[in-house]
Copies of this chain bind each other. A is one copy, B any other.
Amino acid sequence: MQDNTGVALTRRQLLGRIGLSAGGAMMYQAMTSLGMAAESSYTGPVKLQGSPKGATVLVLGAGLAGMTAAYELRKAGYKVKILEFNARPGGRNWSIHGGDTYTELGGATQHCGFDKNLYINPGPWRIPHHHRAVLSYCKQFKVPLESFVQVNFNAFLHNTEAFGGQPKRFREIDADYKGHISELLAKSTKQGALDKAVTKEDQEILLESLRNWGALDRNLSYVMGEESSVRRGFAKYPGGGVSGKPEHSKPMRVEDILRSRLWATLAAGNNYEMQTTMFQPVGGMDQIGKAFARELGPGVIEYNARVTEIDQDERGVTVTYEDTTAPGKAKTAKADWCVCTIPFSVLSRIPVKVGAEMAEAITKLPYAASVKVGLQFKRRFWEEDEAIYGGISYTNLPITTISYPSTDYHSPGKGVLLGAYIWGLNAFDYTSHTPEERVRKAVEYGSQIHPQYKQEFDNGVSVGWHRVPWTHGCFGQWTEQLRERYYGAATQIDGRIAMAGEHISYIPAWQEGAILSAHDMIGRLHKKVMATGGAA
């Protein structure tokens, strides 16, 4: 089996994760679990013992890995400097705000027309509660956090091939799926199907639990009644006074639920990285990158610096770069040591003086494709018309995801949705379109779920990660085979050059991986520096 990057994936790796139900909506789930389902192994603040005696470190890239390395190494006594391609800190820690301009590979420039207070996060957009490293910096740097709503029982599940293309509320599918499997298991139990596996006493507890958990009636059936309506919602909701008497709703049939395949995303919020409580920084994910830059202070980061060559010898590292605002003139920076956080997708196109093993690793890591589309609408119709506040609707359409803002509830002005979060083959397809075309298609597809789209659409932006000039892809897509063969080489300190970033971690695509890779690396680098006597 081949994925879109041409890399062979085992059946276990891909289908095992997708649950044999690969499709647009499922790719998202699959991607988030490819090696990424992980709690932080952060063990507390970095402590580097011993003075480096003025040793200098040149950091390439002011993303979270690079800024973490610079921040912690400076605290330990190093002299640090960062070269950054962009005119801003953060790297993939990035928010596009109203008024921003972004030019992708190929030259297409977008001027974000969002209202001034609105934004979209093209890269990371949510933080699990167990990503302790990134959270500890948020706390330390006083980056205010708010809840990110991952699961919304009132959001939609949509499959063009089910229920005539009509979306269902998450709660209906969730309640009915659980109710039906509980009933099936209860009946099997009563018929003796579990007699070999479970004691009679435990079977009694099991039945009791299924009744409670699956909302079964006294006969252990999942049927129309108060028990099921309390989960799936009512046909007529209770109210006040004389007019308030409720009416129960009718569960869907088990075969309709199964054949709809809408069960496929029910467990998205049960994946470790998606489990409540999740966070987002108030005002955009870029608040974290900005906080790091603020803590580093002026003069540490040189922006608009495009690295063109990385050289080293026994005495130090020399990096050649150009100022992208005054191109054509090579500049150089020298240091005793180099921390390189440039994604391998970019680094593989730059001469780097490292050993054959690391050099091969740099060329072998494919980068996942992903496209996000942010859509501004004239009003927050999802709140006003549909009582959807935050959370995610899933669809089998190429957009896979519509995510609603988890903040500024009830704000009377315009609102911005994540209108598409595209993975795999569809992402390559979308990346090849113009930004305007990506937006147009996101609106067209999304209107199958929210008919208000066409009337209320205002403007949009889109980021196809393979067209992002400083990454050429979304994240390092390690497979088991690739990791076994190349991860060790990629991770070793090669002479005076060490790599860091999400790609040098077991939590790819996550900010936590970037920060923990920096923590792991600076510990080893410092040890080496201390062993070699600090400065060259």
Chain A interface residues toward B at CB < 8 A: 12, 16-21, 33, 35-42, 129-130, 132, 135, 138-139, 145-147, 149, 151-154, 171, 174-175, 177-178, 181-182, 184-185, 187-189, 191, 193-194, 197-199, 202, 205-206, 208-213, 215, 217-218, 226-227, 229-234, 236-246, 254-255, 258-259, 261, 263-264, 266-267, 270-272, 275-277, 279, 387-391, 406, 409-410, 488, 491-492, 500, 504-507, 513-521, 524
Q: Are A238 and B38 neighbours in the complex by a CB distance under 8 Å?
A: yes
**Nearest B residue to A488 by beta-carbon distance?**
B242
Q: Are B149 and A231 neighbours in the complex by a CB distance under 8 Å?
A: no
Q: Are A16 and B263 neighbours in the complex by a CB distance under 8 Å?
A: no
Known: A149-B147, A213-B263, A240-B505. A208 touches B276 (CB 8 A): no
A-B contact pairs, 23 of them (CB 8 A): A16-B227, A18-B212, A39-B238, A41-B237, A130-B233, A151-B276, A152-B276, A153-B275, A181-B182, A181-B206, A184-B185, A184-B188, A184-B198, A185-B185, A199-B255, A209-B258, A230-B272, A239-B507, A240-B505, A240-B518, A240-B520, A241-B521, A244-B505
A129-B389, A241-B517 known; 17 new pairs, CB 8 Å cut-off, are A16-B217, A20-B212, A37-B229, A37-B230, A38-B246, A39-B233, A41-B243, A129-B387, A153-B270, A187-B193, A198-B255, A212-B264, A231-B271, A240-B500, A240-B516, A244-B516, A279-B409
Looking at the assembled complex, report how far the CB atom of A172 sits from the nearest CB atom of chain B, in whole angstroms.
11
Q: How many copies does the complex hold?
A: 2
Q: Are A272 and B171 neighbours in the complex by a CB distance under 8 Å?
A: yes
Which of A20, A21, A212, A229 counts the most B-chain CB atoms under 10 A from its CB?
A: A212
**How far does the alpha carbon of A244 sit from the alpha carbon of B483 in the complex, in Å?**
12
**How far does the alpha carbon of A179 sit from the alpha carbon of B492 in the complex, in Å?**
39
User: Across the interface, which residues of B come within 8 angstroms of A505, CB to CB?
Assistant: 238-241, 244
User: Across the interface, which residues of B come within 8 angstroms of A198, CB to CB?
Assistant: 184, 254-255
The residue from B33, B38, B387 contacting A130, defined by CB atoms under 8 A apart:
B387
Q: Are B205 and A240 neighbours in the complex by a CB distance under 8 Å?
A: no
Looking at the assembled complex, report how far the CB atom of A515 sits from the nearest CB atom of chain B, in whole angstroms.
7
Q: Are A267 and B226 neighbours in the complex by a CB distance under 8 Å?
A: no
Looking at the assembled complex, report how far the CB atom of A106 sits from the nearest CB atom of chain B, in whole angstroms.
33
**Nearest B residue to A483 by beta-carbon distance?**
B245
User: Across the interface, which residues of B come within 8 angstroms of A259, CB to CB?
Assistant: 202, 205
User: Across the interface, which residues of B come within 8 angstroms of A20, CB to CB?
Assistant: 208, 211-212
Q: Are A242 and B524 neighbours in the complex by a CB distance under 8 Å?
A: yes
The residue from B40, B212, B387, B516 contacting A132, defined by CB atoms under 8 A apart:
B387
The residue from B237, B242, B277, B507 contacting A40, defined by CB atoms under 8 A apart:
B237
Looking at the assembled complex, report how far the CB atom of A40 sits from the nearest CB atom of chain B, in whole angstroms.
6
User: Across the interface, which residues of B come within 8 angstroms of A129, CB to CB?
Assistant: 152, 154, 387-389
User: Across the interface, which residues of B come within 8 angstroms of A524, CB to CB?
Assistant: 241-242
Q: Which 10 residue pairs of A and B lie closest in terms of their CB atoms, listed nearest first? A: A19-B212, A241-B520, A41-B239, A240-B516, A240-B517, A38-B238, A238-B506, A39-B237, A153-B275, A37-B230
User: Across the interface, which residues of B come within 8 angstroms of A218, CB to CB?
Assistant: 12, 16
User: Across the interface, which residues of B come within 8 angstroms of A178, CB to CB?
Assistant: 270
Looking at the assembled complex, report how far the CB atom of A249 sits from the nearest CB atom of chain B, in whole angstroms.
10
**How far does the alpha carbon of A239 sit from the alpha carbon of B130 in the complex, in Å?**
12
Q: Are A21 and B506 neighbours in the complex by a CB distance under 8 Å?
A: no
**How far does the alpha carbon of A257 sit from the alpha carbon of B210 in the complex, in Å?**
13
**How far does the alpha carbon of A160 sit from the alpha carbon of B39 in the complex, in Å?**
28
**Nearest B residue to A227 by beta-carbon distance?**
B16
Known: A37-B226, A237-B41. A244 touches B507 (CB 8 A): yes
Looking at the assembled complex, report how far the CB atom of A133 sits from the nearest CB atom of chain B, in whole angstroms.
9
User: Across the interface, which residues of B come within 8 angstroms of A277, CB to CB?
Assistant: 149, 152, 154, 389-391
